[in-house]
Amino acid sequence: MTDTLVFFSGPDPFDTWRDALVPHLPDTVRIQNSDAVTDPDAVRFALVWMPPEGFFERFPNLELVINLGAGVDRLVARDDLPDVPITRLSDPEMGRMMASFVLFSVLRHARDIPHFEAAQARREWSYRHPRAAGDTKVAVLGLGELGALAATEVARQGFDTHGWATKPHDLPGVRVHCGDHALAPLLAEADIVVCMLPLTPGTRGRLDASAFGAMKRGAAFVNVSRGEVVDEAALVAALRSGHLSGATLDVFETEPLGSEHPLWSLPGVLITPHLASVALPKSAAPQIARNIRAVQTGGTLINQVSRVRGY
């Protein structure tokens, strides 16, 4: 009997994902784009990125939902999710891509690049003496699959690297702080704060006016996780007042960021359109196939998401 893996994604091409998956899947699994499913009852697996409302109702025999990405906030917040396990992607290439973007962002602020770009626009030779990496304190908020790798890369460059999570993590070169009470003291000491927290009911709006107020004057802020973790109006105010010296922002409360948004023109702010990291078919395919086989044989799933925690 053949099982079907149904695919749905707005931005990701079906053919590329099918071609990457076929060599890893047993012959008993057929992959179909959602609009080409011939037998909905045969669908046991769904590989999806933000499927439309009502999507899952079509497939009564679903046994596994695979989120085509790392962030599951939009999936776990739905009220039409079937009661089956949910897994996310966590592949090495995706982690490397994110870690390199975070490292770039940290270096951008640590090496005063916004200052030199502004000086260049004025045709001005404006020397600023470089500081040793060890004299710059970097706080990475969130030490998950992507956050831990990014923090480790930052530490490898010699930065005084700190991390924040709910529970302890053992990461080379990273001093880990845990729990709510540890956040404000960490923010108060960091020169660069990097947000890598998932969007959950517990983190929504967590970086608000009081969090930005707790940050050191002149600190820089990087957000590569989800815009809604940040109170954007509070961020704009902190940048406008000069309390924050700059920001590197990949994610926003509303995407695409509207052309009139004040963040576009604030000094020291770099805006990128949500691309710090993406799911890569070739490196993600083996773990997707592994989880499909686990369902077929009663094995253990990897990268499973907790609906209760929301990540």
Nearest to 166 by CA among 190, 183, 184, 149: 183
**Is residue 202 a contact point for ligand NDP (CB under 6 A)?**
yes
- Residue 12 beta carbon to ligand NDP: minimum distance, rounded to whole angstroms: 13
**Is residue 137 a contact point for ligand NDP (CB under 6 A)?**
no
Report whether 151 contacts 207 (CB < 8 A). no
In the chain, the amino acid numbered 295 is V
Query: Which residue has the closest beta carbon to ligand NDP?
Result: 144
Interface of this chain with ligand NDP, residues 142 to 161, rule: CB under 6 A = 142-147
Question: Among residues 45 and 164, whose Cβ is nearest to ligand NDP?
Answer: 164
Q: Which of 111, 169, 274, 307 is catalytic?
A: 274
Choose, by CB under 6 A, the member of 123, 129, 167, 181 that binds ligand NDP.
167
- Residue 107 beta carbon to ligand NDP: minimum distance, rounded to whole angstroms: 18
In the chain, the amino acid numbered 68 is L
**Residue 226 annotated to the active site:** yes
Contacts 24+ apart (CB under 8 A), 240-246: 240/266, 242/217, 243/212, 243/213, 243/215, 243/217, 244/212, 244/215, 244/218, 244/219, 244/220, 245/109, 245/114, 245/218, 245/219, 245/220, 246/109, 246/114, 246/220, 246/221, 246/270
**Residue 274 annotated to the active site:** yes
DSSP lists the bridge partners of residue 222 as 194, 248
Interface of this chain with ligand NDP, residues 59 to 88, rule: CB under 6 A = 70-71
- Residue 277 beta carbon to ligand NDP: minimum distance, rounded to whole angstroms: 4
**Is residue 274 a contact point for ligand NDP (CB under 6 A)?**
yes
**Is residue 227 a contact point for ligand NDP (CB under 6 A)?**
no
